[in-house]
Structure 1
């Protein structure tokens, strides 16, 4: 049975997330390496049959096992799916990159977990936004929210946000954002080595 947002779901958060995710079809992909993406029509057709924006997915078309858990981020539907090692399933609305140029798809894993993360914009972010600060410490002004899962790809994270307007939108510079209460829950369930696939 899927668990939507744990026990801390507010009506406003649910409605905002639901409205933001309606109508975005999923495209399933098989990723042979971090650099190569190959479409598999049989998986795509299975996923597209699910009409609900908050559709549940089976982990088996995407992962060979659930060792250390598995995270699937569907960029098109702006949703993050998590399966624990024991098979429990969670679904969270997410923010995704603003453009395809900022989007990275493929397989990676959680390599570091940080509560109260610090934030430093990447060189390309500073090029696009020269007025941004070069460093923001933990706290309410930090764009990474309260918790962050660092991925094996340089500069890429799954993290929280204090700006809840970003969830359900194409609003990030490459990372995947969640409500702070959702990243806190995911942070507690994920492990170093948890598999991550962005499609």
Structure 2
């Protein structure tokens, strides 16, 4: 291969990669949610799409095995990794992460329940801070902060769930949970099962 051919290929690869990033950055933003996903997150100003600075991780560094599949939520790069039990499927999704260290929990847990169109209820602290918020938002509502699907974890009140407010993805914007685009939680929901191992780091 000549130097000229290599330079042409490198330029094409670079342009193709740039086009992929620009296409991802142009994902449409949904209408604002009336209620915060889990925390009162000020998101005033123009709607911006956010991409996570993904880093590649190996499941072997965090799990002893892939029994029932594994979900790794990387809070640093704001991304969720999924590996199937037989390692034939690997997925990587941008995510929202907890808004502060006080609301962040790290460690190993598992999926204990899968819920379609989950019902959302504000916590006591959220209700105290926002008495105008409703006591409950039924599943399927376009304003439901949990989106279209939720994976409930063994830690009380912690979930991996969808969100209609796409501005939250790629940001510190939750009260502890991990949020995904609705189309991504639909896919992850179909892959994960009760018993899927989960680690937040």
TM-score between the two structures when normalised by the length of structure 2: 0.74
Q: For residue 154 of structure 1, what is the aligned residue in structure 2?
A: 156
C-alpha distance in structure 2 between counterparts of 1:197 and 1:63, whole Å: 8
**Cα shift at 1:174:** 1.1
Q: For residue 140 of structure 1, what is the aligned residue in structure 2?
A: 142
Matches within 5 A, 1:95-134: 95-134=96-135
User: SS where residue 186 of structure 1 aligns?
Assistant: helix
Q: For residue 27 of structure 2, what is the aligned residue in structure 1?
A: 13
**Cα shift at 1:121:** 1.1
C-alpha distance in structure 1 between counterparts of 2:81 and 2:50, whole Å: 14
**Cα shift at 1:106:** 1.0
Report if aligned partners of 1:117, 1:148 keep a CA contact under 8 Å in 2: yes
Report if aligned partners of 2:55, 2:77 keep a CA contact under 8 Å in 1: no
C-alpha distance in structure 2 between counterparts of 1:94 and 1:115, whole Å: 19
C-alpha distance in structure 1 between counterparts of 2:86 and 2:27, whole Å: 27
Matches within 5 A, 1:72-83: 72-83=72-83
**Unpaired runs of 5+ in structure 2?**
1-22, 29-47
**Cα shift at 1:115:** 0.8
Report if aligned partners of 1:125, 1:173 keep a CA contact under 8 Å in 2: no
C-alpha distance in structure 1 between counterparts of 2:97 and 2:156, whole Å: 17
Runs in 1 of length 4+ with deviation above 6 angstroms?
A: none
Q: For residue 178 of structure 2, what is the aligned residue in structure 1?
A: 176
Larger RCO: Structure 1 or Structure 2 (Cα < 8 Å, ≥ 6 residues apart)? 2
User: SS where residue 13 of structure 1 aligns?
Assistant: coil
**Unpaired runs of 5+ in structure 1?**
1-9, 22-52
C-alpha distance in structure 2 between counterparts of 1:54 and 1:16, whole Å: 15
**Cα shift at 1:130:** 2.4
Q: For residue 167 of structure 1, what is the aligned residue in structure 2?
A: 169
Deviations 1:39-77 (A, max 9, x none): xxxxxxxxxxxxxx3332110010011010001111111
Please say which structure displays the higher CA radius of gyration.
Answer: 2
Deviations 1:102-148 (A, max 9, x none): 11111110000011110111122222322221100012110000000
Matches within 5 A, 1:84-95: 84-87=84-87, 88-95=89-96
Higher strand share: 1
